[in-house]
């Protein structure tokens, strides 16, 4: 399999997830309002969703390239289908 193109961007998004997650924990410990905490949780979800979309995009590209390289489109389409099902469920 070829090198992943989105690695740096995914790592950056995951760092944002960690930062937002730490902020949520701190806000709960400080007794901040539920509204503030929920806004921060929305930021966690957004950052995680963006990281997942980058990974999914990268995976789609790899499935296509791998399929062309080894001629086993059925296998790679099945892998992609499984990844998509996990992502949207």
Per-residue model confidence as pLDDT tens for the chain (89 residues): 445 677 888 888 899 899 999 999 999 999 999 999 999 999 999 989 888 888 888 877 777 777 777 777 788 788 878 878 887 77
Question: Residue 24: which domain range?
Answer: 7-88
Instruction: Tell me if 12 is assigned to some domain.
Output: yes
pTM higher than the cut 0.85: no
**17, part of any domain:** yes
Taking the alpha carbons of 70, 73, 75, 77 in that order, is the dihedral positive or negative? positive
What are residue 2's phi and psi, to 5 degrees?
-75, 165
pLDDT score for 1: 43
Number of domains forming the structure of the chain: 1
Q: Name the one residue in this structure whose structure tokens are 């499984």.
A: 82
Is the residue at 2 inside a domain? no
**By three-state DSSP, how is residue 22 classified?**
helix
Judge contact between 10 and 54, C-beta under 8 A.
yes
């Amino acid at each position: 399999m070829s090198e992943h193109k989105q690695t740096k961007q995914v790592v950056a998004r995951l760092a944002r997830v960690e930062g937002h997650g730490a902020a949520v924990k701190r806000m709960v410990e400080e007794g901040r309002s539920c509204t503030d905490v929920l806004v921060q949780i929305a930021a966690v979800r957004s950052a995680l969703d963006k990281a997942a979309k980058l990974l999914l995009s990268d995976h789609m590209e790899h499935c296509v390239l791998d399929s062309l390289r080894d001629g086993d489109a059925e296998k790679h389409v099945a892998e992609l289908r499984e990844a998509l099902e996990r992502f949207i469920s």
